[in-house]
A and B are shown apart, each in its own frame.
Chain A
Amino acid sequence: MDIEMVGTIAAALISISLALSIFALIRYQREKKRKQQSSPESLDVQISVKGRNIVVKRENKESQIDFGSARSEDLERFLKKVQ
């Protein structure tokens, strides 16, 4: 066995190795895409704080509440609004 023959075998093996890694990458990207498509869409909710108020904005609907003085029914109304 000489180095030329070893080189030829090595070239074939590393080509297989490269092909396997490219296959792995394609398979991973495909699986990732499939997972992203099957998962539910994320909610576009923005929550911010203005002074003592908490402001929740979702799909152009805005609602805010002063948590410092809010009663339980106010909280319930607020939560129903933003749900």
Chain B
Amino acid sequence: MKNDTAANAKLQRWLYFSVSVALLPIIFNILGWIITQGFTVDFVKILGDGDLFLISTTLCAVALGELLEVAAIPKTIPAATTRALGAAYIIIIAVSSFIYSFVSIGEFFSSGTRIVKHDIVAHISFWVFIVSVITSSIGMYITVESK
């Protein structure tokens, strides 16, 4: 029971500091938008460059590091859990990195000119971020409780 409470406290600290602090640049961007443009926040313009992909990659990379640290200690986490979580993190890291580079380069492949569809990028980056928060929270909960 005591272990559960300590794990929950550590998980909350991780959520407050890692996730919230990582989102600070986006939050300041929204605040700046509100100050200059009023309350008509255009999320497509804020998230359209794929900044959330970078945050997703960082969250999963930190969680993967924690997982590897705990998995090195025998009999802490079942092997299937480690493999599944590790695969989930690697998929998110790969997807985020690939799409971020794809957005940065632009769609050269079809037209020969740089086209970025910010609305689609904003939607993809938002959902990748949500899944990365859920996945890394699950992973952090397991690793923190196993320690």
Instruction: Tell me, yes or no, whether A28 is within 8 Å of chain B by CB.
Output: yes
Residue from A7, A11, A18 within 8 A of B135 (CB atoms): A18
Docked-complex contact A24 and B124, CB < 8 angstroms: no
Decide: A10 and B99 in contact? CB cutoff 8 A.
Answer: yes
Q: Are B85 and A21 in contact, with the CB atoms below 8 A?
A: yes
Query: With a CB–CB cut-off of 8 A, which chain A residues contact B82?
Result: 24
Complex contact A13–B109 (CB within 8 A): no
Q: Residues of B contacting A2 with CB < 8 Å?
A: 107, 109-110
Q: How far is the CB of A31 from chain B (nearest CB, A)?
A: 5
Whether A27 sits at the interface, judged by CB under 8 Å, is yes
How many residues in A have their beta carbons less than 8 Å from beta carbons of B? 22
CB within 8 Å of A: which B66-112 residues: 77-78, 80-82, 84-85, 87-89, 91-92, 94-95, 98-99, 102-103, 107, 109-110
Given contacts A10-B128, A28-B81, contact A18 B88 (CB under 8 A): yes
Q: Are A28 and B78 in contact (CB-based, < 8 A)? A: yes
DSSP class of A's interface residues: helix, strand, loop or mixed?
helix
Which A residues from 1 to 42 make CB contacts under 8 A with B? 1-4, 6-7, 10-11, 13-14, 16-18, 20-25, 27-28, 31
- State the A residues within 8 Å of B (CB): 1-4, 6-7, 10-11, 13-14, 16-18, 20-25, 27-28, 31
A-B contacts, 8 listed (Cβ < 8 Å) = A2-B110, A3-B107, A6-B99, A20-B91, A20-B135, A24-B80, A24-B142, A31-B78
Chain B residues in contact with chain A, CB under 8 A?
77-78, 80-82, 84-85, 87-89, 91-92, 94-95, 98-99, 102-103, 107, 109-110, 116-117, 120-121, 123-124, 127-128, 131, 134-135, 138-139, 141-142
